[in-house]
Amino acid sequence: MNPAEEALSRLRAGNARFVERIRSATPTAQQAEAITLPREQKPMAIVLGCADARVPAELVFDQGLGDLFVIRVAGNIVAPSGIGSMEFAASRFGTRLVVVLGHTECGAVTATVEELLRPAGEQSPNLSAIVERVRPAVAPVVSGCGHSHTDAIVPDAVRANIRHSVAQIHNGSEILRQLIRDDGLKIVGAEYDLASGQVHFLDD
């Protein structure tokens, strides 16, 4: 198994443990283990996740200190600093898997859908910067749905936004494209379900 596939299977197994823990009320043996502080980091995956307080990547994938290189920002949007962080981790630590981790009921996606349906006018320029990065992903979903019910649009909009971020990373970095071509790097989209705790990898 190459490093990207191996990291993916470790993340799947970790999320299965997390979901198991939600379902069973008793703490697992692993939760009682002592914490060891790693001297060095050797992250198996880079995660671009949403800043939503309910979706910390280390917890939902049941991973320890040093295992994941996590970038979090509202709406899991792609900005140059995020791509630079990914390039750093991929080059410095040899990490060969990038996961864009969106989630159901994302507030940044919902705000963008609402802005497209009912433009509100003046907003903080900093908040607008987030909406503007989500907009290109979500606009075709809103215009294609033929109605204006936010709740019905958001699920598809969330997945479109995850796929858009995957494409943005791919298009935004020659370093990462080269690693995809020559060294087995993979970029995948995933959606965390707030109701079940499950992570669904999008192109499974």
Residues forming contacts to Zn ion in the complex (CB under 5 A) are 50, 52, 106
User: Shortest gap between Cβ of 91 and Zn ion (angstroms)?
Assistant: 28
d(CA 110, CA 104): 10
User: Shortest gap between Cβ of 192 and Zn ion (angstroms)?
Assistant: 9
d(CA 50, CA 106): 8
d(CA 38, CA 181): 31
Q: Are 68 and 61 a contacting pair, CB within 8 Å?
A: yes
User: Shortest gap between Cβ of 107 and Zn ion (angstroms)?
Assistant: 5
Given the structure tokens 């669904």, which residue do they identify?
200
* Exposure on the CB side of residue 157, measured as CA atoms within 13 A: 32
Closer Cβ to Zn ion, 87 or 115, answer by number: 115
User: Shortest gap between Cβ of 32 and Zn ion (angstroms)?
Assistant: 32
Closer Cβ to Zn ion, 95 or 168, answer by number: 168
User: Shortest gap between Cβ of 54 and Zn ion (angstroms)?
Assistant: 9
d(CA 175, CA 169): 10
Closer Cβ to Zn ion, 46 or 106, answer by number: 106
Q: What are phi and psi of 42, to 5 degrees?
A: -140, 70
Closer Cβ to Zn ion, 95 or 161, answer by number: 161
If one counts every other C-beta atom within 10 angstroms of the C-beta of residue 180, the result is 17
The tokens for 93 are 């630590």
Closer Cβ to Zn ion, 50 or 86, answer by number: 50
